[in-house]
Amino acid sequence: MSPELSLAKAYEKYFKIGAAVAFHNIDSYYPVLEKHFSSITPENEMKYSSIQPKEGVFTFDKIDRIFEVARKLGIKVRAHAPVWHNQTGKWMYQDGDKPASPELIYERIDAHSKAVCERFNKDVYAWDVVNEAARDEVFDVNTGGSPVYRESDYFKLCGEGFIEAAFKSMAKYSPDAQLFYNDYNECDPAKRERIVTLIRTLQDKGCRIDGFGMQQHYFFEPDYDELKRSIETYAALGLRLHITELDISLMATLNPGEKRLKPEDEGFKQYIQQALHPTPEKLAKIGDIYVKLFEVYRSYSDVIDSVTTWGVADDYTWLDFFGADPNMPKVKQYPLLFDENHEPKPCVVRLIEDAEAGR
């Protein structure tokens, strides 16, 4: 690749190019971040268990380092997922030896929002205020619960009120950053309907919600028409859109279905066998999918402000550890735009050429 070619510069007229980073790798990724990216997202370092492992005890050392590097790079941060059902200490849900009341949980959310906003506001352009609060599976009337919301500890104690509380708190302490709801499987029609209901409920309650984060984790070939319908549906709510956690599992090139293969599924063993020795054609197909996805993203750049991959390069990706069966060999994934040596894959050149040609 020519030294002057930059993914971020090629996409300046379309949207920011971002990547998720971690404390343990941000320094090693500095050269590629400096050249090709215009936004970063802390992968885990801004979640409750990292910043506030115990009530009132804040540990900022790791996240401070990420913000220090961002300032050195001269780029802003997408601050990810303060309120999430995972990576949150049990203290959030307890009041001594009894369950915490909704009011106490709201007070704790508000105190956390105040602390992180006071520390990081000047370097943050968007917050994923609440992450993955919509129900993922189809509602079964026989099991009870909500047809819209995930049965998280937050929901069991507060109902949907914790989402409203989080957005109103963040709006109070971060008036200048964009506030996002973030979720996955967002192009599945049934879940899309639940997400739309969640967002409209927030809007009806007077919450400031500026955007929706479409995670875009792919474990099967994308349905590009469904992606377009989803973008149009969410944009019709008056929201800005960010692609927030984009990656393409090797499974996407080997899975003939439309759902992620799990260890108990028929075909999972065959996937493992093929994935242990991926052909050059299958690896190249990951790049082909990126090219097609970015073609869609560019065509909606009037509503999409940022596209973030969930990781920088293939030497470190959460997918190497996700959904694994301990009784089967580990499968190396190649889901990102840069290889294990931090070099751009051939598809990056295609993405730059397409952007510069206005295709």
Ranges of each domain in the chain: 7-357
Q: What does residue 170 show for φ and ψ, rounded to 5 degrees?
A: -65, -35
pLDDT of amino acid 329:
85
Contact assessment for residue 153 and residue 102, using Cβ atoms and an 8 Å cutoff? no
Burial class (CB in 10 A: 0-12, 13-18, 19+), 357: exposed
Encoded tokens for 305: 């402000």
Residue 203 carries which side chain, given as an amino acid letter?
Q
Give me the active site residues, please: 132, 245
What is the torsional sign of CA 306, 175, 162, 144? negative
Burial class (CB in 10 A: 0-12, 13-18, 19+), 321: exposed
pLDDT of amino acid 294:
98
Contact assessment for residue 282 and residue 316, using Cβ atoms and an 8 Å cutoff? no
Q: Are strands 94-95 and 16-21 parallel, antiparallel or unpaired?
A: unpaired
Query: Cα(87)–Cα(95) distance, rounded to whole angstroms?
Result: 19
Contact assessment for residue 177 and residue 124, using Cβ atoms and an 8 Å cutoff? yes
What is the CA 229 to chain-centroid distance, rounded? 20
Residue range 7-357 in CATH 3.20.20.80: yes
Enter the pTM of the model: 0.95
pLDDT of amino acid 323:
77
User: Of 346, 327, 328, which is closest to residue 337 (Cα–Cα)?
Assistant: 346
User: Of 306, 69, 282, which is closest to residue 178 (Cα–Cα)?
Assistant: 306
Length of the chain as a residue count? 359
Question: How confident is the prediction along the chain (359 residues), in pLDDT tens digits per residue?
Answer: 555 789 999 999 999 999 999 999 999 999 999 999 999 999 999 999 999 999 999 999 999 999 999 999 999 999 998 899 999 999 999 999 999 999 999 999 999 999 999 999 999 999 999 999 999 987 766 666 899 999 999 999 999 999 999 999 999 999 999 999 999 999 999 999 999 999 999 999 999 999 999 999 999 999 999 999 999 999 999 999 999 999 999 999 999 898 999 988 999 999 999 999 999 999 999 999 999 999 999 999 999 999 999 999 999 999 998 977 778 888 999 999 999 999 999 999 999 999 999 87
What is the CA 272 to chain-centroid distance, rounded? 26
